[in-house]
Chains A and B, each alone.
Chain A
Amino acid sequence: MAALGPYASFIATSYGLVAAVVVLLIVWIFLDYRQQTARLRELEASGIVRRSGRSAAEI
């Protein structure tokens, strides 16, 4: 930190904030994927199928 000079806290806060927001985005997208695939499996398990007959959770 000392090598970053008198404004080290501004630099560290900037990098820390970018890292936090990027990690939040990744986690949010990952959890959303899990939620959607779980819902699709639930619906298929209850007997609801697509008109094409294919699995909705199929990728």
Chain B
Amino acid sequence: MSLIDLANPTKFLALTARVLPWLAGATAILLLIGLYQSAMAPDDYQQGATVKIMFIHVPNAWLSMFVWGIMSIASLGTLVWRHPLADVAAKAAAPIGAAFTFLALVTGSLWGRPMWGTYWEWDARLTSVLILFLMYLGLIALWRAVEDPSRAARAAAVLTLVGAINIPIIKFSVDWWNTLHQPASVIRMGGPTLDNAFLIPLLVMAIAFSLLFITLHLAAMRNEILRRRVRSLQMMQANQKAA
């Protein structure tokens, strides 16, 4: 099956049906390994056991930005190439991205209270991630507000591409401004500063959460294709009744 074939929703659904059980299984296994490694990781000499929050906070924070990146590529597919599955991909990703962003904010807050002495600080990193969360909610509201999926798709694609400006702001906020949030310690020039005892469980959890996103995204895309089939059949039914 070539990449072009996947533009056909029926072929995409067939592929999804084949790969989803394997993806779900791989996600579950990797999550279990990651959780075991996280539980076995030693305490940090400064943070103690609260370092364990990092193993769930960081993957969610990475995915909150990654999902918006995927939605931005899909938006280009909608506006430039008019790919039939592009806006399905973007629409299906938004609630999942919003959930990851919410979890990044809340777990960060729960990590911040014992380490920084506060749940929240209006600094550049925290505020830019909160803006990302609000943008996800805005996009979901836009898709729900416009009934015609193709009109909603174009408006949402423009909003997504404009919102993509926030992604480098989030990434580099800790370098550009003085923030309470620590600077990058994994994805940085010069390599990670984390010890392997923390880095390995973190990477396993990051891969596990990425697989979780792919699994949920494919399943949500399948639902969106089915929802559009329902809509077109309902319109046919209404036309038949009118005739």
A residues with a Cβ closer than 8 A to B are: 3-8, 10-11, 13-15, 17-18, 21-22, 24-26, 28-30, 32-33, 36-37, 39-40, 43-44, 46, 48, 50, 54, 56-59
* Cα separation A40 to B118 with both chains bound (whole Å): 50
Enumerate chain B residues within 8 angstroms of A14, measured Cβ to Cβ.
53, 56-57, 106-107, 110-111
B residues with a Cβ closer than 8 A to A are: 10, 13-14, 16-17, 43, 48-50, 52-53, 56-57, 60, 95-96, 99, 102-103, 106-107, 110-111, 113-114, 212, 216, 219-220, 222-223, 226-227, 229-230, 232-234, 236-237, 240
Identify which of B48, B57, B219, B232 contacts A5 (C-beta below 8 A): B48
**B212 touching A22, Cβ below 8 Å:** yes
Enumerate chain B residues within 8 angstroms of A39, measured Cβ to Cβ.
230
**B233 touching A56, Cβ below 8 Å:** yes
Enumerate chain B residues within 8 angstroms of A13, measured Cβ to Cβ.
110
Known contacts A11-B49, A56-B230, then 20 further A-B pairs from the complex at CB < 8 Å, ordered by chain A residue: A3-B49, A7-B48, A7-B114, A10-B111, A10-B114, A11-B53, A14-B56, A17-B103, A17-B110, A18-B60, A21-B99, A21-B102, A29-B223, A32-B223, A32-B227, A36-B229, A57-B226, A59-B13, A59-B16, A59-B17
Determine the main DSSP class of B at the interface with A.
Answer: helix
**A25 touching B113, Cβ below 8 Å:** no
From B110, B114, B232, residue with most partner A Cβ within 10 Å:
B110
Q: Given that A7-B48, A11-B52 are contacting pairs, would A33 and B110 also be in contact in the complex, using a CB cutoff of 8 Å?
A: no
* Cα separation A13 to B13 with both chains bound (whole Å): 37
Identify which of B50, B106, B113, B223 contacts A33 (C-beta below 8 A): B223
Enumerate chain A residues within 8 angstroms of B229, measured Cβ to Cβ.
36, 40, 50, 56
* Cα separation A44 to B70 with both chains bound (whole Å): 34
Q: Would you give the shortest CB distance from A30 to chain B, in whole angstroms?
A: 8
Enumerate chain B residues within 8 angstroms of A32, measured Cβ to Cβ.
220, 223, 227
